[in-house]
């Protein structure tokens, strides 16, 4: 039996979810006016405070623009949204996930990963190296437990991002991790090869231990490119099938 954490949603969060979903996947055009707060909260059956909290959050996410006295307008999320939108974009209303967004994430990962590893090799402090060693040890002990390997993989990348001394990488990694956590269970089998490639993970760690940035970058690139191309290949086939299906 696997127990799942009960999610309790506040009203403002429910409103936020509904509106952002409507903006991202619905039929709201950029520039379109949102109903006035008083109308909106009446239509949604919630008090104005909850409604305002949601609207403020939407504005922070770059999905709407609020102007005192004027009306609230929908923005083009592609031009003003932040990286945290990835999670919402990835999942489609029908329950599946967007292949285009998944590809985007994989490409970004492949572009950043090697540089993160290289910087980590150059800058990591002894304490972090120790933690990294523990993760590698745990990885070699995890055997073929793919779920466990995914969790350790996240920790692996968290450490690399931290060790890179690059705060932008750390923050981007935070966002990507949050997105990954939501989708990793459907990717488990697809990532099998990458997850089981213990040799690469070990080689990256060892390159970092000895401060060999070039080697760290090179091995990381190999690991990610192999995993990425494999997943992209699969996604492309999947996409084709999906298109064919949607044409019927």
Partner DNA sequence: CCAAGAAAACTGATCATACCAGTTGACCAG
Partner DNA sequence: CTGGTCAACTGGTATGATCAGTTTTCTTGG
- Mask of contacts with DNA, 25-64, x by CB under 7 A? ---------x-xxxx------xxxxx-x--x---------
Does the protein bind DNA through residue 69 (CB under 7 A)? yes
**C-beta closer to its own copies: residue 107 or 134:** 107
DSSP 49-113: HHHHHHHHHHHHTTSEE--SSS--EE--HHHH--TTHHHHHHB-TTSSB-HHHHHHHHHHHHHHH
Query: Token pair 């923005």 is at which residue?
Result: 75
Enumerate residues 2-21 that contact DNA by CB under 7 A: 8, 10-12
Q: Which does 215 bind (CB under 5 to 8 A by kind): its own copies, DNA, none?
A: none
Residue 23 binds to DNA (criterion: CB under 7 A): no
CA distance 83 to 97: 17
71 forms part of the interface with DNA (CB under 7 A): yes
Q: Per CB under 7 A, does 68 bind DNA?
A: yes
**What's the min distance (Å) between Cβ of 49 and its own copies?**
6
Neighbours of 57 (CB within 10 A): 17
Tell whether residue 130 is a contact of DNA (CB under 7 A): no
Decide: 121 and 207 in contact? Cβ < 8 Å.
Answer: yes
- Tokens 């031009």 label which residue? 79
Residue 81's φ and ψ, nearest 5 degrees, are -75, 155
Report which of 63, 60, 50 is spatially closest to residue 13, judged by C-alpha positions. Answer: 50
Contacts with its own copies, residue ranges (CB under 8 A): 8, 10, 12, 49, 52-53, 56-57, 60-62, 68, 78-86, 89, 100-101, 103-105, 107-108, 110-112, 115, 119, 158, 162, 165-172, 174-175
Give the binding site for DNA (CB under 7 A): 8, 10-12, 34, 36-39, 46-50, 52, 55, 66-72
């Amino acid at each position: 039996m696997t127990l799942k954490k009960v999610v309790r949603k506040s009203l403002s969060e429910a409103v936020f979810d509904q509106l952002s979903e409507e903006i991202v996947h619905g039929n709201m055009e950029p520039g379109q006016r949102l109903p006035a707060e008083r109308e909106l909260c009446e239509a949604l059956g919630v008090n104005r405070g909850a409604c305002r909290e949601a609207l403020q959050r939407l504005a922070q996410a770059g999905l709407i623009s609020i102007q005192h006295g004027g009306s609230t307008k929908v923005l083009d999320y592609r031009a003003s949204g932040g990286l945290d939108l990835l999670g919402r974009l990835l999942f489609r209303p029908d329950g599946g996930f967007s292949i285009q967004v998944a590809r985007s994430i994989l490409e970004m990962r492949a572009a950043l990963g090697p540089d993160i590893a290289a910087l980590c090799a150059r800058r990591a402090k002894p304490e972090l190296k120790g933690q990294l060693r523990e993760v590698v040890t745990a990885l070699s002990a995890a055997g073929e437990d793919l779920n466990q390997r995914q969790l350790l993989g996240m920790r692996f990348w968290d450490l690399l991002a931290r060790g890179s001394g690059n705060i932008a990488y750390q923050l981007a990694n935070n966002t990507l991790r949050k997105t990954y956590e939501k989708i990793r269970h459907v990717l488990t089998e697809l990532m099998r090869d990458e997850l089981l490639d213990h040799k690469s993970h070990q080689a990256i760690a060892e390159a970092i231990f000895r401060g060999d940035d070039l080697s760290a970058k090179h091995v990381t690139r190999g690991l990610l490119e192999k995993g990425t191309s494999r997943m992209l290949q699969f996604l492309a086939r999947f996409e084709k099938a999906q298109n064919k299906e949607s044409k019927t």
